[in-house]
């Protein structure tokens, strides 16, 4: 237990930017700085080239991760007026499955002249959807072989996961696949850059491996027979191109190297936790130290996570991983593929520079959006259908409807998607008792939280930290540094909201009946559109 | 046959404005002027009042019709430098069913102080959708009684028709119903104002009565037993509140009164044709003097009309009226409820001031709008479902789609709706050989005509007259004045396009297969949404 205060750094890698959060071991936020990636999401053209990317591609630049996080860290240190030696531990959360091919020494293939004009040599962002056919193929083979690992993933391997993305490269750019020495998650690559060391000892997060890499503590990665059945050339991909050791979040992956210490303005030798998926970091970051609390990390997309004492294979629930989120619990991961992304899409569609008009208008429109309905699959459906090819829809449209109606319908559809997930978990005998919202969205979009509360008929607490995942990462940094003896004591010390700081949204019971009916309509339309 | 040229005036009353066209008996356009109604469509508040109108209301101001058409006529005469005595006949086309309640002397109820703040005392525009429940009720009663008149209307009485609008007033504002001496179509009211005379001799158009008033030359208006079953209080509405005589378009309803001659700058005694529905005027206006030509009047909504030698009751086809469009033929009326209106809705939704970006973008997007589909029922479905309560939809939406994709999908949906109508007619053994597009839309939106041509797999001629209905009205004015001996000779003389003036759109055969598939999707989604 920490009596005197120690300082921790949480690095939270999002889709557009990285955030550095300095926080002490009593949970007092000292400073926080975000830094946007110079290249952002790469969806149109490769950097420094005229190569047009195919639709559904979403790439990133690996140097952005180093440069932006170093800048954000230095700036956070300056803002908090903290000396480098005061920071005793670093935690890292990262989007996933964001992954890349590298050479044996860790050099990303895309940074070699030979490959820089090859799209598939670049890191694929989590939302890159180029592996549609490969995912179908892997699922077909897995079902045909009755692979037991399917049970852990609700019966479906996801379009955004690690092995579909590997297979995509093999099939579309075999030269790149063959030139690749190491396939790894971006979060793992980043931590490896911080701690150095050989390829054989590079730290791979059990969280990323478990949720996105079909890995399991008992059986490891998929076996050779399954991989061979998928494609002969990937039979040995785990042995030959996936070196390293599995390390759990909250365990030190290593210590900061001298060169990285210089770059980040930190002390050489500082312990660095193994990476965790950004959304999953939101669970400790939201102060959820006990089972049965659904932590909803709401952002570009949404991840809804839950720790439970029981292991249940719930059809459609994307992953249940033992110790996947916190030690000692079964971690359930569910999600919605487009949330803030879809809101922003609608904003652009309506030609608005910001959300002022839409939010104000939607708030005055009654539940049901005057007849407009929506299916929120603008980037596919993650939980429970696990189908990245599904598409969004609006229905009930009349000439009297304005963008505000479509926006309200979209918010409601997002809430219905969440309700579907909660009902699935409960029907699958997994208790869901409490609801905490975190991530960026709940803080600047109170309407969405109220609609979620009304549609669920449940109270929702918005955790006061505007940096839930970053705080979660810092907590893991504290654990890696040995500041606390247990994850629950770390979470309680660092992430319990102070009295009055958490906002509680209570459901408006008078809307319940309307939303029950509209939820039925949502499911009916969803059934038709997913036939 | 006219050897020396005579001058005719066509008055074309649209939803927002009226057009006056001066044309000679050889079809040479002399001048054309439009004048917008001062009060436009009244959808928010009654003029000079703060009374908020319910949703789905669309009213007009009767004085606008007189004032705007007089202004337009005077201006057209000035532009063409024509003396009042040169105009030998006047034809009138009007939106329908636009209708109003008046006192015995023709004074609209809404112009009496006592009623001016009562929404239902005002003329209801064709698109006024306040009679949803009344239409359901009338259809229920008609089906229960197995009324044979249903066969003439594809089995369904429309939400926008005459008797549902009467019943709406009786049920929502019985005082207004009781204070009404005369119910009549706006086009008939206008012609009555021009020619004067008593209520008992007021001219009612057989076109309006046949298509919108359930009237038939053999059986007349609905009988008392049917009306009594609908509502006891309307049992005698035809006898007591619908005086007048039925007059066919092209037959003189009377001669211009002295006071109206002064107001319009025309000669007292000029023969005035009975009114015709605006869309139906497009048939002679488009030079279609022979059967088997589908005349597509494309505008705010679309009307697709066809003269045929045969009488067939085609399920879903809204009306077949003997001599309803041209003497000697069975006139078939079909339509799409929202076309230009829906395009404009999407433009506003996307925050665009005009169609430049949307049109340019949609033209470069391939058939199928990159996966976006649409159901074009933004104002209900007219033919064949005759259901004003149906709503529009977009499906196949992804984050990559822009307003241009939705616009293209909407154009294609509109084309699929048309294809459905053509297939219905052909399956019902009504020949459709040629396609002529007229109305405002084809002249400023070439893309929609090309998409229609591609989806139908048929050539479409765009008639060069930008005032098809106004020209049709002028032709009827010529007939009323006895300038020609037959409608076909009048149409040939006045509306045959000069060589090179008509634009022919030919179908791009390479798109056929894609559109066949997408049409199947459209029908599948339409079936689901109309369940």
Cβ of residue B349 closer than 8 Å to a chain A Cβ? yes
Give chain A positions within 8 Å (CB) of B341: 399
CB–CB contact B394 A399 (8 Å) = no
CB A285 within 8 A of CB A495: yes
CB–CB contact B349 A403 (8 Å) = yes
What are φ and ψ of residue A364, in 5° steps? -95, -10
Taking the CA atoms of residue A378, residue A382, residue A383 and residue A387 in that order, the dihedral angle to the nearest 10 degrees is 90
CB–CB contact A55 B395 (8 Å) = no
Distances in Å between the Cα of A448 and the Cα atoms of A181, A502, B463 are: 45, 16, 52
User: If you count DSSP H runs as helices and E runs as strands, how many of each does chain A have, helices first?
Assistant: 19, 20
CB B141 within 8 A of CB B88: no
CB B244 within 8 A of CB B199: yes
Locate A66 and state its tokens: 């180093």
Of the listed ranges A209-218, A299-308, A321-330, A420-429, the one predicted with least confidence: A321-330
Of residues A337, A222, A265, the one with CA closest to residue A75: A265
Helix axes A446-456, A403-427, angle to 10 degrees: 50
Residue A23 burial by CB count (10 A; 0-12/13-18/19+): exposed, middle or buried?
Answer: buried
CB–CB contact B352 A350 (8 Å) = no
A359: left (phi over 0), alpha (psi -120 to 50) or beta: alpha
Residues in Cβ contact with A172 at an 8 Å cutoff, skipping those fewer than 6 apart: A120, A130
**Preceding peptide of A409 cis, ω within 30°:** no
Locate B249 and state its tokens: 């378009």
CB A306 within 8 A of CB A436: no
ipTM of model over 0.90: no
Residue in the block written with tokens 């019902």: B428
Residue length of chain A: 531
Residue A317 pLDDT class (50, 70, 90 cuts): confident
By three-state DSSP, how is residue A421 classified? Answer: helix
Q: What percent of chain B has pLDDT above 90?
A: 83
Pick from A365, A398, A413 the residue to mutate for testing the B interface (most B CBs within 10 Å): A398
Of the listed ranges A483-487, B152-156, B239-243, B298-302, the one predicted with least confidence: B152-156
Residues in Cβ contact with A508 at an 8 Å cutoff, skipping those fewer than 6 apart: A450, A453, A454
Residues in Cβ contact with B323 at an 8 Å cutoff, skipping those fewer than 6 apart: B206, B217, B248, B329, B331
Which residue of chain B is at minimal alpha-carbon distance from A378?
Answer: B398
pLDDT tens digit string along A187-228?
999 999 999 999 999 999 999 999 999 998 889 999 999 999
By three-state DSSP, how is residue A205 classified? Answer: strand
Locate B89 and state its tokens: 């006949």
Mean pLDDT for chain A overall: 94
The residue with greater pLDDT, A260 or B466, is: A260
Q: Is the pLDDT of residue A167 over 70?
A: yes
Helix H, strand E, coil C: the string for B255-280 is ECCHHHHHHHCCCCCCEEEECEEHHH
pTM attached to this predicted model: 0.80
Per-residue confidence (pLDDT) for residue B84, from 0 to 100: 87
Give all strands of the β-sheet with A434-438 in edge-to-edge order: A319-322, A330-336, A302-308, A293-298, A434-438, A460-462, A503-505
**Preceding peptide of B64 cis, ω within 30°:** no
Residue B261 burial by CB count (10 A; 0-12/13-18/19+): exposed, middle or buried?
Answer: middle
Read out DSSP for B9-42? EEEEE-SSEEEEEEEETTS-EEEEEEEE-TT-SB
How confident is the model over B98-118, as a mean pLDDT? 97
DSSP state at residue A386:
-
CB–CB contact A393 B397 (8 Å) = yes
Per-residue confidence (pLDDT) for residue A269, from 0 to 100: 97
Mean pLDDT for chain B overall: 94
Residue in the block written with tokens 């379009």: A159
Q: In angstroms, rounded to a whole number, what is the distance separating the alpha carbons of residues B86 and B70?
A: 17
Q: Is the pLDDT of residue B516 over 50?
A: yes
DSSP state at residue A301:
S
DSSP state at residue B387:
B
Residue A86 burial by CB count (10 A; 0-12/13-18/19+): exposed, middle or buried?
Answer: middle
Cβ of residue B357 closer than 8 Å to a chain A Cβ? no
Read out DSSP for B269-336? T-EEEBPEEHHHHHHHHTT--STTEEEEEESSSEEEEEEESS----TT--EEEETSSSTTSEEEEEEE
CB–CB contact B396 A391 (8 Å) = yes
Cβ of residue B400 closer than 8 Å to a chain A Cβ? yes
The residue with greater pLDDT, B316 or A135, is: A135
Per-residue confidence (pLDDT) for residue B3, from 0 to 100: 52
Locate B131 and state its tokens: 């009679």
Residue A199 burial by CB count (10 A; 0-12/13-18/19+): exposed, middle or buried?
Answer: middle
CATH assignment, A288-462+498-531 = 3.30.420.40
Q: In angstroms, rounded to a whole number, what is the distance separating the alpha carbons of residues A313 and A310?
A: 10
Distances in Å between the Cα of A289 and the Cα atoms of A247, A281, A491 are: 21, 12, 6
CB–CB contact A393 B398 (8 Å) = no
Q: In angstroms, rounded to a whole number, what is the distance separating the alpha carbons of residues A376 and A452?
A: 14
pLDDT tens digit string along B326-362?
777 888 989 999 999 999 999 999 999 999 999 999 9
Per-residue confidence (pLDDT) for residue B4, from 0 to 100: 73
Q: In angstroms, rounded to a whole number, what is the distance separating the alpha carbons of residues B476 and B377?
A: 33
Per-residue confidence (pLDDT) for residue B1, from 0 to 100: 42
CB–CB contact B379 A395 (8 Å) = no
Read out DSSP for B482-496? TSSSSHHHHHHHHHP
Q: In angstroms, rounded to a whole number, what is the distance separating the alpha carbons of residues B373 and B393?
A: 8
Cβ of residue B353 closer than 8 Å to a chain A Cβ? no
Q: In angstroms, rounded to a whole number, what is the distance separating the alpha carbons of residues B46 and A71?
A: 62
Per-residue confidence (pLDDT) for residue A2, from 0 to 100: 42
Name the H helices within B117-180. Answer: 132-144, 149-152, 162-172, 174-179
Give me the half-sphere count of Cα atoms (radius 13 Å) on the Cβ side of residue A263: 15
Residue B209 CA to its chain's centroid (Å): 13
Per-residue confidence (pLDDT) for residue B223, from 0 to 100: 95
CB B305 within 8 A of CB B280: yes
Which residue of chain B is at minimal alpha-carbon distance from A529?
Answer: B395
Distance from the Cα of A404 to chain B's closest Cα (Å) equals 9
CB–CB contact B349 A393 (8 Å) = no
Q: In angstroms, rounded to a whole number, what is the distance separating the alpha carbons of residues B398 and A376?
A: 10
Distances in Å between the Cα of A312 and the Cα atoms of A152, A257, B42, B239 are: 9, 42, 60, 75
Read out DSSP for B397-466? E-TT--HHHHHHHHHHHHHHHHHHHHHHHHHTT----EEEEESSHHHH-HHHHHHHHHHHTS-EEEPS-T
How confident is the model over B93-110, as a mean pLDDT? 97
Residue B2 pLDDT class (50, 70, 90 cuts): very low
CB–CB contact A379 B399 (8 Å) = yes
Give chain A positions within 8 Å (CB) of B395: 391-393, 395, 529
Locate A323 and state its tokens: 């110790």
- Rg (C-alpha) for chain A, rounded Å, is 22
CATH assignment, A7-277 = 3.30.420.40
Distances in Å between the Cα of A453 and the Cα atoms of A448, A457, A508, B213 are: 9, 6, 8, 51
Buried b (16+ CB within 10 A) or exposed e, A372-404: bbbbbbbbbbbbbbbbbbbbbbbbbbbbebbbb
Longest dimension (CA), chain A: 64
Q: Do domains A7-277 and A288-462+498-531 have the same CATH topology?
A: yes
Of the listed ranges A327-331, B338-342, B446-450, B513-517, the one predicted with least confidence: A327-331
Point out which residues pair with B288 in neighbouring strands.
Answer: none
Q: In angstroms, rounded to a whole number, what is the distance separating the alpha carbons of residues B201 and B433?
A: 40
Residue A325 pLDDT class (50, 70, 90 cuts): confident
Residues in Cβ contact with A287 at an 8 Å cutoff, skipping those fewer than 6 apart: A436, A463, A491, A492, A495, A496, A497
Read out DSSP for A346-362? HHHHTT-SSSHHHHHHH
- Rg (C-alpha) for chain B, rounded Å, is 22
Of residues B187, B186, B205, B191, the one with CA closest to residue B264: B191
- The closest CB to that of A398, out of B378, B397, B398, belongs to B378
User: Per-domain residue ranges for chain A?
Assistant: 7-277, 288-462+498-531
Of the listed ranges A310-324, B135-149, B447-461, the one predicted with least confidence: A310-324
Of the listed ranges A65-69, A331-335, B179-183, the one predicted with least confidence: A331-335
pLDDT tens digit string along A327-341?
778 889 899 999 999
Give chain B positions within 8 Å (CB) of A528: 528
Residue A1 pLDDT class (50, 70, 90 cuts): very low
Residue A322 pLDDT class (50, 70, 90 cuts): confident
């Amino acid at each position: 237990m920490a009596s005197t205060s120690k300082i921790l750094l949480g690095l939270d890698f999002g889709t557009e930017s990285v955030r550095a959060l300095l926080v002490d071991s009593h949970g007092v936020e000292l400073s926080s700085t975000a830094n946007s990636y110079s290249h952002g999401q790469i969806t149109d053209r490769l950097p420094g080239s005229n190569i047009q990317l195919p639709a559904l591609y979403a790439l990133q630049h690996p140097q952005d991760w180093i440069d932006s996080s170093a800048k954000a860290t230095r700036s956070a240190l300056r803002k908090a007026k903290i000396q480098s030696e005061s920071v005793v531990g670093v935690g890292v959360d990262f989007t996933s499955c964001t992954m890349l091919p590298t050479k044996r020494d860790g050099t990303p293939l895309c940074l070699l002249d030979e490959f820089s004009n090859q799209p598939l040599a670049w890191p694929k962002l989590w939302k890159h959807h180029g592996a549609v056919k490969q995912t179908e193929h892997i699922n077909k083979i897995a079902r045909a072989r009755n692979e037991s690992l399917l049970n852990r993933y609700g019966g479906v391997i996801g379009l955004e996961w690690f092995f579909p993305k590997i297979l995509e490269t093999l099939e579309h750019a075999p030269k790149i696949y063959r030139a690749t020495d190491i396939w790894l998650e971006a979060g793992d690559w980043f931590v490896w850059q911080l701690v150095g060391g050989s390829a054989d000892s590079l730290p791979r997060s059990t969280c990323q491996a478990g949720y996105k890499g079909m890995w399991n503590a008992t059986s490891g990665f998929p076996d050779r027979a399954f991989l061979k059945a998928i494609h002969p050339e990937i039979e040995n991909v785990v042995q030959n191109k996936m070196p390293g050791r599995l390390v759990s979040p909250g365990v030190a992956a290593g210590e900061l190297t001298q060169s990285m210490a210089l770059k980040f303005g930190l002390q050489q030798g500082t312990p660095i936790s193994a990476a965790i998926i950004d959304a999953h970091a939101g669970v400790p970051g939201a102060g959820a130290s006990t089972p049965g609390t659904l932590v909803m990390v709401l952002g570009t997309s949404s991840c809804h996570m839950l720790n439970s004492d029981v292991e249940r294979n719930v059809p459609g629930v994307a992953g249940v991983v033992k110790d996947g989120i916190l030690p000692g619990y079964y971690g359930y991961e569910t999600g919605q593929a487009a949330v803030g992304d879809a809101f922003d899409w609608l904003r652009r569609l309506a030609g608005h520079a910001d959300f002022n008009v839409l939010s104000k208008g939607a708030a005055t429109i009654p539940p049901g959006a005057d007849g407009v309905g929506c299916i929120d699959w603008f980037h596919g459906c993650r939980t429970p259908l696990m189908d990245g090819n599904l598409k969004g829809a609006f229905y009930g449209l009349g000439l009297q409807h304005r963008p505000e109606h479509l926006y309200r319908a979209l918010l409601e559809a997002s809430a219905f998607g969440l309700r579907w997930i909660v009902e699935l978990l409960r029907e699958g005998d997994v208790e869901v008792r409490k609801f905490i919202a975190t991530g960026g969205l709940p803080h600047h979009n109170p309407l969405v939280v109220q609609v979620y509360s009304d549609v669920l008929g449940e109270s929702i607490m918005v955790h006061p930290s505007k940096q839930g995942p970053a705080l979660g990462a810092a907590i893991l940094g504290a654990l890696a540094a040995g500041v606390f003896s247990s994850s629950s004591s770390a979470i309680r010390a660092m992430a319990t909201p102070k009295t009055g700081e958490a906002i509680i949204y209570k459901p408006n019971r008078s809307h319940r009946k309307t939303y029950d009916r509209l939820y039925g309509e949502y499911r009916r339309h969803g059934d038709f559109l997913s036939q």
